[in-house]
Amino acid sequence: MRVLAGDVGGTNARLAIVEIGDGTARLVREHDYRSAAYDGLAAIAREFLAGGDDAPDRGCIAIAGPVVDGTVQATNLPWTIEAARVGEALGIPRLGLINDFFAVGMGLDLLGPGDRVTLQRGEPRQHGAVAYLGAGTGLGVGFRLWDGERYRVYASEGGHVDFAPRNPLQDGLLRFLRGKYGRASNERVLSGRGLGDLYAYLREAAAAEPQPSVEREMVEQDPAAVVTAHALAGDDALCVQALDLFVAVMGGVTGNLALIAVATGGVYIAGGIAPRIVEKLQTATFLEALHDQGRLSPLVAKAPVHVVTNTKVGLLGAAACAQRR
């Protein structure tokens, strides 16, 4: 069948018509929109559907934020969305809303062999618990648990738990974030905005001399993109240190999540940032932080860890949910 699927974040909204069935999914057509340029989801969906003659009778939209009784207050957008009202406005009676990281959990079943990079092979156990996280505009977390017949997906707001520093450098980061926000969560570090704050923290700490040209870029462009580009190029010391700190915190949080879920089935790192920095996630900086779990380090060493390189996994997951409506 063909369904409307959407993956809406604080920065981008991606909509697609997806042909789905028999455990496979094919994107028929898709388009990306800048979320902040619209006053709500319905306006984006109307524009997308007007571009074709294939409006389906069912659909599902994944969005960043907790969905309760078919309603969500978007976490990083000034939108309150009700599934029934949007469905009525679009003429799609069977329209659902799901948390964006619930969608990622559903989409993992539709990934192909080339859609992931393994950071740690571990010792996977059949039907073992699976945890997943992903950094982008925010930080998402979710779980997949075997019920005896299939995996069930559980959304979470685990990205908003307290940031726990692991060394003196991160102690200073905690104080910096508390001074700026009052409270420091993992999302304050592991997100696009977090990358910009890491640069600002290290600059304030005089970790390296800032380059005027990079400083100008930080004002004129997305700071996260600037940090990432210069860190991967290795041509700015502050950017390199900022991304290294990001990767170290990501390793620690991934290890924490493996413990929380006892993730013998694996941990998947999704989101928009990880696929861009796979080479950094393959370094000792990530792996040492991953394994730094005290007496339970051997348990974490057995958990398979993968990066999801297919950035449309949430869209595929939304399509899978639409199929079931």
The whole-angstrom separation of Cα 60 and Cα 202 is 42
pLDDT at residue 157, rounded to an integer: 86
The whole-angstrom separation of Cα 217 and Cα 19 is 41
The whole-angstrom separation of Cα 35 and Cα 64 is 12
pLDDT at residue 243, rounded to an integer: 98
Is 90 exceeded by the pLDDT of residue 78? no
CATH T-level topology, domain 116-309: Hexokinase; domain 1 (3.40.367)
Is 80 exceeded by the pLDDT of residue 61? yes
What tokens does 239 get? Answer: 């950017």
Q: What is the mean pLDDT of residues 98-113?
A: 92
The whole-angstrom separation of Cα 92 and Cα 56 is 7
Q: What is the mean pLDDT of residues 72-85?
A: 87
Is 90 exceeded by the pLDDT of residue 192? yes
pLDDT at residue 52, rounded to an integer: 79
Is 90 exceeded by the pLDDT of residue 103? yes
Residue 159 CB-half CA count within 13 A: 27
List pLDDT tens digits, range 245-299.
999 999 999 999 999 999 999 999 999 999 999 999 999 999 999 999 999 999 9
pLDDT at residue 4, rounded to an integer: 96
> Could you tell me which of 105, 137, 114, 117 has the C-alpha nearest to residue 263?
105
The whole-angstrom separation of Cα 24 and Cα 187 is 32
Q: What single letter denotes the amino acid at residue 252?
A: G
Provide the Cα torsion 82, 87, 88, 92; round to 10°. -170
pLDDT at residue 20, rounded to an integer: 92
Q: What is the mean pLDDT of residues 232-238?
A: 97
Tokens 């740690």 sit on residue: 120
Contact predicate 107/314, CB 8 Å: yes
Domain assignments of the chain as residue spans, ordered by start:
2-107+312-323, 116-309
Q: What single letter denotes the amino acid at residue 236?
A: D
Contact predicate 300/255, CB 8 Å: yes
What length is written for the chain?
Answer: 325
Tokens 């993730």 sit on residue: 263
CATH T-level topology, domain 2-107+312-323: Nucleotidyltransferase; domain 5 (3.30.420)
> Could you tell me which of 151, 63, 143, 139 has the C-alpha nearest to residue 109?
151
Is 80 exceeded by the pLDDT of residue 224? yes
Tokens 């990001």 sit on residue: 246
Mean pLDDT of the chain, nearest integer: 94
Crossing angle (nearest 10°) for helices 223-233 and 237-261: 100
The whole-angstrom separation of Cα 64 and Cα 99 is 6
List pLDDT tens digits, range 5-58.
999 987 889 999 999 988 889 899 999 999 989 999 999 999 999 987 777 889
Question: DSSP letter at 72?
Answer: E
Q: What is the mean pLDDT of residues 211-236?
A: 96
pLDDT at residue 51, rounded to an integer: 83
pLDDT at residue 23, rounded to an integer: 82
Three-state DSSP at 153 gives strand
CA dist 186 to 74, 269, 299, Å? 19, 15, 22
pLDDT at residue 64, rounded to an integer: 79
> Could you tell me which of 143, 35, 108 has the C-alpha nearest to residue 312?
108
